[in-house]
Amino acid sequence: MKILVLDGVQEAGVKALHRSGWQVDIVTDVWTEEELSSAIGRYDALIIRSATKVTSRVIESADRLKVIGRAGVGVDNIDLEAATRRGIVVVNAPDGNTIAAAEHSLALMLALARNIPRADYGLKNGNWERKKLVGVELRQKTLGILGLGRIGSAVARRAQAFDMVCIGYDPHITPERAKHMGVEAVSLQELLSRSDFVTIHMPLTEQTRHLLDADAIASMKKGIRIINVARGGIVCEDALAAALKENHVAGAALDVFEEEPLGESPLLGCPNVVLTPHLGASTEEAQLHVAMDVADAIASLLNGGLPNNAVNMVGIAPDVMKTLEPFLNLGEKLGTFVAQVGGGINSLQITYSGALLDLETKVVTTSILKGMLANIVDDHVNLVNADYLAKGRGIRLETVHKGNGGDYHNRIAVRASTSGGVLHVAGSVFQPDALRIVEIDGYRVDVLPMGHILVVSHKDKPGMVGQVGMLLGQAGVNIASMQVGRKNPGGSAVMVLGIDAEAPNDVLSAICDIPGIKGTNQVTFD
């Protein structure tokens, strides 16, 4: 085996690859696309950091390459689609920088609380400002943690050592799991109103972009301090700068920004802000750990194993894929539905019936996890790592094979136990390109899982559909399809509307205010 290591990845970190018969070439320079394309055909594995770009041209030249290892988390510098197309596994190191990021969060929190950067700058410029720079203690302050994944939970453990009271908001973590971390699970609104410090550890998605906007910041306590070592864009920098200048926010410490490198920014004119240039993962130990994690994964794969931290889909034989592909697609849709309708998922029970009894459904189960987790976690989720990520979040899984599918030739049913109760959804494949959701919480439906759908639970009585339709129409949201599932006339029912655009939150709130409406959920399928 021949392995190429670029970008100054630490040699000590790749010692797992130094074994009999394996050649490891370590290059400290950053190679151009031309240089890498010219050499890559001689190697079985490649390890890089962020500087080297593994383009489609490089991958097309990689006749022997089996695996690409990214000594870090992000894989934006690797053409994943091209790698997958060539059957090349891409692995990263999602855990290696957890401690570094958590410690940097605490470092910024302490620097902010005790005015350390301003004190240092003043003293070096001949100013003794002892009385001016009175700080605050962390002891018995309430720390609001946005996101309770690997880094958020690590921050919680360290903050508790400072005798801080930890509360957290993460719609995909159950209150029981949060309690196990020593964190009280609360709503976003409660977290913002109660916290003395807020620290962010969430992925940047369409849902979290500008999560802390002007309105959210205004709802916080006067004197709040905000720390962000997660992703730029979660905090609206213009709104934060305004709140800092008005002294509603006592201070902010940011390691990440909406535009990087940081250029012109209103934050630069704020004296009560601490800024660092994306140093969250920049420690000697983190760089060593990510190299070790990637080297271990590559060694396992080259020896015939399958690493847990693969970030692309590989290993499904073409003939098996052809048969399973529609069921994989359906599974992913069902997982998406569960994630967006249910919150704080504890466990899943997946039941396969009918023709599925004769198929190997393990990969279909993984596709359900993939669809669910893609809406929850910051990691790149696929058929290789979905099971691993689910286990890491403590989600229990049970699969059952029974029955003939009833009225359907095949049927997949998902029962999700969530923090809000139990959610049931089932689907069927009518033709390879004809997928349907056929049941929601015991109500028979026939829903095409694509685009945007609105699921409305309500009392079965005249006028319900019209009132909902009127509100959507007034908001300019067109209804593409509509149906109602019910069990008994006059009882409970579910209305499922296919809509051409996402319904605004104020419209959803107005729908919920209609007498007889029990709940509303919006689901978006990619």
97-128: pLDDT as tens digits:
899 999 999 999 999 999 999 999 999 999 99
pLDDT value of position 73: 78
pLDDT value of position 80: 87
State the catalytic residue, choosing from 11, 81, 260, 398.
260
Identical topology for domains 98-275 and 450-526: no
Q: In the CATH hierarchy, which fold is given to the domain comprising 2-96+285-302? A: Rossmann fold (3.40.50)
Contact 216, 246 (CB under 8 A): no
State the catalytic residue, choosing from 49, 201, 225, 231.
231
pTM of the model: 0.69
Instruction: Let me know if 478 is exposed, middle or buried by CB neighbors in 10 A (0-12, 13-18, 19+).
Output: exposed
Specify the CATH superfamily of domain 316-449. Answer: D-3-phosphoglycerate dehydrogenase; domain 3 (3.30.1330.90)
Tokens 């969060």 belong to: 105
Q: What is the mean pLDDT of the chain?
A: 91
Q: Where are the domains of the chain?
A: 2-96+285-302, 98-275, 316-449, 450-526
CA-atom Rg of the chain in angstroms = 26
Q: Is 18 a catalytic residue?
A: no
Q: Residue 433: which residues within 8 A CB-CB, separation 6 or more?
A: 326
**Residues lower than pLDDT 50 in the chain:** 315
Q: Which CATH class is domain 98-275?
A: alpha beta
Contact 451, 524 (CB under 8 A): yes
Q: Kindly give the pairing relationship between strand 421-431 and strand 443-447.
A: unpaired
Return the structure tokens found at 325.
Answer: 């592909």
Q: Is 278 a catalytic residue?
A: yes
Instruction: Let me know if 491 is exposed, middle or buried by CB neighbors in 10 A (0-12, 13-18, 19+).
Output: exposed
pLDDT value of position 319: 65
CA distance 422 to 341: 11
pLDDT value of position 115: 95
pLDDT value of position 313: 61
Tokens 């913002």 belong to: 192
pLDDT value of position 192: 98
Q: Is 104 a catalytic residue?
A: no
Instruction: Let me know if 137 is exposed, middle or buried by CB neighbors in 10 A (0-12, 13-18, 19+).
Output: exposed
Backbone angles phi, psi at 67, to 5 degrees: -155, 140
Contact 63, 41 (CB under 8 A): yes
- C-alpha 240: how far from its chain's center? 24
Contact 234, 263 (CB under 8 A): no
Q: Across-strand partners of 523?
A: 453
Give the strands of the sheet with 165-169, arranged side by side: 184-185, 165-169, 142-146, 197-200, 224-228, 249-254, 273-275
Return the structure tokens found at 224.
Answer: 């709040």
Domain 450-526 has CATH 3.40.50.1820: no
State the catalytic residue, choosing from 278, 393, 444, 452.
278
